[in-house]
Amino acid sequence: MTADIAARYREFRMPDVGEGLTEAEILKWYVQPGDSVTDGQVVCEVETAKAAVELPIPYDGVVHELRFGEGATVDVGAAIITVDVAPGSGGGQAPAPAPEQAPDSASAPASAPASAPGASAPAAAPASGAGAAGGGRTPVLVGYGVAEAPTKRRPRRGAAPAAPAAPPAPVPGQVNGHAGTAPASPARPLAKPPVRKLAKDLGVDLATVTPSGPDGIITREDVHAATALPRERAEAPATAPSAAPAPEPVLDREPVPAQATAPAYAPGTARETRIPVKGVRKATAAAMVGSAFTAPHVTEFLTVDVTRTMKLVEELKSDKDMAGVRISPLLLVAKALLVALKRHPDVNAAWDEANQEIVLKHYVNLGIAAATPRGLIVPNIKDAQDKTLPQLAEALGELITTAREGRTTPAAMQGGTVTITNVGVFGVDTGTPILNPGESAILAVGSIKPQPWVHKGKVRPRQVTTLALSFDHRLIDGALGSMFLADVGAVLEQPKRLITWA
């Protein structure tokens, strides 16, 4: 293989996204062999154990081969796409993989159509002299959402495909040892990733579904219409149809997989469904097991009259200084927790097992547990202790919006110090939450509802909630945990303490 050939074909590799992640699943390809690409253009969407992100290609050229199909789990560093950076420059063949990393005979062939769900091709070794980043540039992950650079999307069904740039002439010894370029897949139905997952869970072939969304996009309603199951029994209650505005994620709601709410048995159907543990579910399970069996958990409870806090919430909604931001009881719970942390700074700490040290944090990265279609995530508000109430409200609103749109980045979920989980949105009185790994405390907030309460010597209906604080007993003893929880409750009972204790 000559140096010219090695320089002509560039392999784009799965970037190292950091934060300890080692693999990602390819959710969607935006390009096919023969498509032209430009530097910075998003070519695929992948899902890590923490978030969905889009990958931009770092050079110009023509797509020569897609190494993995949609649904494949790929190790960091594996080549996922080959690009001809000098198309039309004459003959020659693309670099073949090194013998020691040749495809295993039991694996799916690398030249399989990339659009086949779950299809995958083994990774190939880098070509000699062909850098993964092309000219020394390091690929950068882009948050899940709309990319600034124009993205080449697949043609809609029924639309005439655009004429692709001429791919290299097929010759023996093409990438991965296969002759010719990978065959272009036919245009496949348009649907968002959550809808594709729903269809997969329900066993629905999207090619047989009639789309009703804008521009021929298949919605969740369309998938349910194609099944024999009633919607209320088949759909997990986390998202609305794609054609309608997406709802806000329910804070700390861990979505139940669709198949879990389906009938246990129906004639002619399988009695069990097995779902691979991966992505957010896999990461969450590992984190919770590690936390539960590492940190000795203690949970304490406190029932509080929050009538005055609820009145303050209503007053803030009409305050001109709070215009344009979301006001909710959770906002004042967050502020109450920050005030209590200021009074008891030893709660804001971490246990360093390796160095046998207690690490006191002089900042608060406030985690907010949120349930999204991708699973439970805990992004955090950085340096929450320095924010005014309007700033905290704005940060909380942005956190919810990015989670709802699937744009939460791995960095936003790292470095948390204390977490709030709102189980009250389900009508639950309270719970015993498990610590987020590396944190010392987590506060669960139960439902707020009218209850008989002794107020000024008389039994009256008051707005009442129950708080539950779980903490690491290596760091926080019973006295400290009790005083901290009591202070959170005291602020919510008398919100004027937001001023007098600040």
Two structure tokens written together for 136: 């020394």
Phi-psi region of 486 (alpha: psi -120 to 50; beta: other; left: phi over 0): alpha
What distance in Å separates the CA atoms of residue 148 and residue 107, rounded to the nearest whole number? 36
Q: 423 and 329 in one domain?
A: yes
Q: 217 and 158 in one domain?
A: no
pLDDT of residue 474: 92
Other C-beta atoms within 10 Å of 38: how many? 13
pLDDT digits (tens, 9 = 90+) for 9-67: 899 998 865 555 678 889 899 999 999 999 989 999 888 766 778 889 998 999 999 99
User: Choosing from 297, 362, 455, 473, which is the catalytic residue?
Assistant: 473
CATH at 6: 2.40.50.100
Other C-beta atoms within 10 Å of 306: how many? 26
pLDDT digits (tens, 9 = 90+) for 233-270: 334 444 444 444 444 444 544 344 444 444 555 666 77
pLDDT interval class at 410 (50, 70, 90)? confident
Residue finishing a domain among 160, 188, 216: 188
Burial pattern 404-419, b for ≥16 Cβ within 10 A else e, equals bebbbbbbbbbebbbb
Residue finishing a domain among 154, 188, 222: 188
Q: 208 and 180 in one domain?
A: no
CB 281 within 8 A of CB 257: no
Q: What spatial distance separates the first Cα and last Cα of the chain, rounded to whole Å?
A: 70
- Which residues 6+ apart lie within 8 Å of 300 measured at CB? 468, 469, 478, 481, 482, 485
Strand order in the sheet with 9-13: 9-13, 79-84, 61-66, 36-37
Phi-psi region of 92 (alpha: psi -120 to 50; beta: other; left: phi over 0): left
Q: Which domain holds residue 484?
A: 281-500
Name the domain count of the chain: 3
Q: What angle do CA 233, 236, 240 make, to 5 degrees?
A: 110
473 catalytically annotated: yes
